[in-house]
Amino acid sequence: MLDQTIESLSNTSLPLGSGIYAIYYTGLFPAYEPVAARNWNGKFGQPIYVGKAISKRDKKSGITVDASKETDLKDCLRQHALSIEQANNLDLGDFYYRCLIVDDIWIPLGENMLIETFRPIWNIVIDGFGNKDPGNRRATQHRSSWDVLHPGRYFAEKLATGGITPEDLTRKLEKFFAGHPVSLVLESSDEDDD
């Protein structure tokens, strides 16, 4: 996976097939500087998000004859690009990806290995990047952490705001980057800063 070519996330026409992917950030959003710095100058050493694209046919009817002709990776990456484009404080030009087409049986294992190895913040601390439009809002549904920190996705606008603020999420990221265990970062209240 790490030997695969880096592509701009604005170019999602390339990958055909099912597999795993990593998205990298190189921009200047202040809370993400520790991530972006590891990706500057073509290093691409720290994904901000890792995901999987499993064949739609596999989910419904078993193994596909030729998964390399499926559009699952392309579809996932396009959906992510759209989310970033809709966010009012991110620039799609700051995002890159690499992907690996693999047999569907290995996809969950590959995704889990990449998440455990790299601990991407959009998988570990800021949840909701991979969310899709939930349809009509349910009474208990709130915006994800990702949508609180990066407002603008059309479907998130109809969800309740909840009690978390961008400042709360920035403090969680600071704790995460300072090496606090994830369980403490996610469970700590804003008052117990150290």
pLDDT beyond 60 at 24: yes
pLDDT digit string, tens, across residues 40-60: 999 999 999 999 999 876 455
Tokens matching residue 97: 């990806």
Nearest to 122 by CA among 179, 180, 169, 187: 169
Whole-model pTM: value is 0.88
Backbone phi, then psi, for 166, in 5-degree steps? -60, -35
pLDDT digit string, tens, across residues 60-84: 555 554 555 678 999 999 999 999 9
Q: What is the pLDDT of residue 62?
A: 52
- DSSP bridge partners of 96: 8, 24
pLDDT beyond 80 at 98: yes
pLDDT digit string, tens, across residues 111-128: 999 999 999 999 999 999
Sign (positive or negative) of CA dihedral 178, 182, 184, 185? positive
Q: Any idea which of 19-28, 128-137, 144-153 has the lowest mean pLDDT?
A: 128-137
56-95 CB burial, b ≥16 within 10 A, e <16: ebbeeeeebeebeebebbbebbeebbebbebbeebebebb
**What would the mean pLDDT of 120-147 be, rounded to a whole number?**
81
